[in-house]
């Protein structure tokens, strides 16, 4: 016989988990950044920010010629090399890990990760999302809903 406590607690856990994720979903179309928000975009290692989210990042001071790391109110994660050849998932994972380390050291900032690698690099969310598995409880990293759907499976 159950007193209902475990069912109530599991329902509360599910609701709080859902609300926790909902507050950490990157908007689909970012047009403005709050003072403490950083725009995370897919890049190439040469830092030629000519298309997609990389081009959008220029408006928040992404530096042309810098392919990785913090740049103004943006952070580049390479998904292509200098010759615009798509990087392997293992190569991208190294850059993602560097980003996660940076974000964890800068808890005063909120990082809005876009669907890196899912546009011009032609990976799918099911390829890229697992690279972010370690951020489930990193409160200042926001992910696209498509990534959360994969991570939460």
**Domains in the chain, ordered, with CATH?**
25-151 (3.40.220.10)
Question: Do the bridges between strand 74-80 and strand 69-71 make them parallel or antiparallel, or are there none, so unpaired?
Answer: antiparallel
Q: Please enumerate in sequence order all residues whose Cβ is within 8 A of that of 100, keeping only pairs 6 or more positions apart, or say none.
A: 132, 134, 135, 138, 141
> Which tens digits make up the pLDDT trace of 62-84?
999 999 999 999 999 999 999 99
Please tell me the predicted confidence (pLDDT) of residue 20: 56
Least confident among 8-17, 51-60, 82-91, 131-140: 8-17
Give the C-alpha separation, 131 to 151, whole Å: 9
Q: What is the DSSP string of 61-96?
A: TPPTT--SEEETTEEEEEEE-TT-PBPPHHHHHHHH
pLDDT band of residue 8 (cuts 50, 70, 90) is: very low
Global pTM value: 0.86
pLDDT band of residue 137 (cuts 50, 70, 90) is: confident
Residue with tokens 């005063």: 108
| pLDDT higher than threshold 70 for residue 5 | no
């Amino acid at each position: 016989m159950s007193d209902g406590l475990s069912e109530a607690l599991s329902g509360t856990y599910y609701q709080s988990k859902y609300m926790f994720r909902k507050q950490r979903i990157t908007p689909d179309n970012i047009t403005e950044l709050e003072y403490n928000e950083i725009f995370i975009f897919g890049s190439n290692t040469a830092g030629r920010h000519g298309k997609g989210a990389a081009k959008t990042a220029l408006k928040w001071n992404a530096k042309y010629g810098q392919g990785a790391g913090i740049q103004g109110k943006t952070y580049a994660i390479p998904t292509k090399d200098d010759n615009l050849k798509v990087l392997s998932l293992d190569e991208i994972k190294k850059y993602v890990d560097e980003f996660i380390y940076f974000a964890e050291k800068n808890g005063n900032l909120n990082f809005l990760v876009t669907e890196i690698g899912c546009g011009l690099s032609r990976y799918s969310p099911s390829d890229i999302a697992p690279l972010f598995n370690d951020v489930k409880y990193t409160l200042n990293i926001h992910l696209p809903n498509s990534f959360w759907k994969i991570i939460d499976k």
